Copies of this chain bind each other. A is one copy, B any other.
Amino acid sequence: MAKIAFIGLGNMGGPMATNLVKAGHQVCVFDLSAQAVAQVVEQGASTKNSASECVKEAEFVISMLPAGKHVEAVYLAPDTGLINDITQGATVIDSSTIDAATSQKVAKALAEKGINFVDAPVSGGVGGALAGTLSFMVGGSDAEFNRVKPILENMGKNIFHAGEHGAGQIAKVCNNMLLSVLMVGTSEALQLGIANGLDPKVLSNIMSKSSGSNWTLDVYNPCPNVMDNVPSSNNYQGGFMVDLMAKDLGLAMDTAVNSQSSTPMGALARSLFAMHAAKGNGSKDFSSIFNLFNKEN
């Protein structure tokens, strides 16, 4: 079993750390919220007064933070960065969804101190974090990937090696940009059918078995009451928030701008999700974009 430090115990990080505890690892957790720490400690984790102390003896340091600036600050801040505390030969696993450039910057700085690094953003949401069925998209060398894989398997089901440092972030950004396009495209197509008299259950069934088949139509249908147990049938509660999709699409746009890539559909999706969020829907599930195409009475 491994000695693991886990930094960042939000909606995702909390259950991920808990799954590591359950798998038998020695896990030292840290978060600015004492309550978040207490919940995981209750499950058998230890804690210390600071992240610095947590990482000192760790073989693996896992972080789950909101944005690139937090990741850079936590690891590289002059004087207080964990780079000063992590032992040589240890491996950092950053599961935050951030820009690839920051991942690469952190990777490079850590490498100069003999510390390994992978970016390993996840998909699967809070449900996947709780169930230990997340997908991890890993950026790092083959050796680094092989070292982290067994650890990640305690928290997820699909562990993908996307490429070198930063490639995990790129894969995540590409996937989520595509996901947003699938969701908007599916919503439009269903609404076009409804406006022309079709039953959305019938139309969903036809398209799912035809070339319109896609994840959002087949297993996460945005039209209420076509499927059970999806957010659209629960007033768009739970699932993956509009605000988080908007954040990921912001990263996608950064990536597209920096690589001078043309992404008309992804860019349109970002503007539509931003519009939807601005109308007070930021904390609903992202499938609620379906309502943007509703006709009001």
Q: A residues touching B (Cβ–Cβ < 8 Å)?
A: 100, 123, 135, 137, 158, 160-164, 166-167, 170-171, 173-179, 181-182, 184-186, 188-193, 195-199, 202-203, 205-207, 209-217, 220, 246, 250, 252-272, 274-275, 277-280, 292-296
Residues of B near A175 (CB, < 8 A) are 189, 206-207, 210-212
Contact yes or no, A278 B252, CB < 8 A: no
Given A188-B263, A192-B263, A193-B170, CB of A212 within 8 Å of CB of B178 = yes
Judging by beta carbons under 8 Å apart, are A211 and B123 in contact? Answer: yes
Nearest 7 Cβ contacts at the A-B interface: A181-B185, A214-B214, A267-B267, A262-B275, A178-B212, A178-B189, A264-B271
Contact pick for A123, options B210, B250, B269, CB 8 Å? B210
Cβ-defined contact, A292 with B275, below 8 A: yes
B189 touches A266 (CB 8 A): yes
Could you list some 8 contacts between A and B, CB below 8 A? A137-B206, A163-B202, A181-B184, A192-B263, A253-B257, A262-B272, A264-B275, A275-B293
Closest Cβ of chain B to A74, distance in Å, is: 21
Contact of A188 among B135, B188, B266 (CB under 8 A): B266
Q: How distant is A189 from chain B, measured CB to nearest CB, in Å?
A: 4
Are B270 and A268 in contact, with the CB atoms below 8 A? no
**Copies of the chain in the assembly:** 4
Contact, CB under 8 Å: A188 / B262:
yes
Interface of A is mostly: helix
Q: How far is the CA of A275 from the CA of B260 in the complex (A)?
A: 8
Complex Cα gap A43–B199 (Å): 40
Q: How far is the CB of A238 from chain B (nearest CB, A)?
A: 15
Known: A246-B260, A250-B258. 18 other contacts (CB 8 A): A123-B210, A164-B197, A166-B197, A171-B198, A171-B202, A171-B207, A173-B192, A175-B211, A178-B188, A182-B211, A184-B265, A192-B256, A214-B214, A253-B253, A254-B254, A264-B275, A267-B268, A267-B271
Q: Select A135's contact among B193, B209, B250, B265, beta carbons within 8 Å.
A: B209
